Amino acid sequence: MRRSGHLLRALALIGLLIAGPVFAVQPDEMLSDPAKEARARALSKGLRCLVCQNENIDDSNAALARDLRLLVRERIEAGDSDEEVLAYLVDRYGEFVLLKPGSGGWNWLLWAAGPLLFVFAAGTAAVYIRGRSRAAAPGEAGLSAEEERRLRDILDRQG
């Protein structure tokens, strides 16, 4: 019994290792030139699936991702460089198609927003805490002359 358990675990592990990662790229999409196919795969890993949004087109099974993979391969076959392929796709779909957009143009604001908001929040918290530590405790300030007079009037009426 114990021996068969080990055997089953070993077979399951071997099966997982053999299966490996499954890619959405179909055999009919692949280029015959291995160097060009490697370029297409490298470019596809940096392009966002416009349907899935947080998945690259190489791993997506969406029809639009397939169209984008074919478009990348067409541009490579046409002789475009990697930069030209990316520029073509950005012109057509906007920078959203890039999984890692550049930090130039207005994108610097998006890249800087997180750290700037953190600094602003830390500054606001520091001012608030400093103000609270300097404020007098509620009982320490005492009553004003007007407040003492009103308190005496209230106590006199009750007593």
Task: Tally Cβ neighbours within 10 Å of residue 89.
Answer: 21
Residue 40 and residue 95: Cα distance in Å, rounded? 19
Q: What is the mean pLDDT of residues 55-81?
A: 90
Residue 25 and residue 43: Cα distance in Å, rounded? 13
pLDDT for the residue 76: 92
* Token pair listed for 116: 């700037």
CA dihedral 91, 28, 66, 68 (to 10 degrees): -10
Q: How far is CA 105 from CA 19, 92, 94, 95, 117, in A?
A: 43, 18, 13, 11, 20
pLDDT for the residue 127: 93
Higher-confidence position of 111 and 63? 63
pLDDT for the residue 139: 62
Q: What is the mean pLDDT of residues 51-59?
A: 86
pLDDT in tens, 136-159: 666 666 778 898 899 899 999 986
Name the pTM for this structure: 0.54
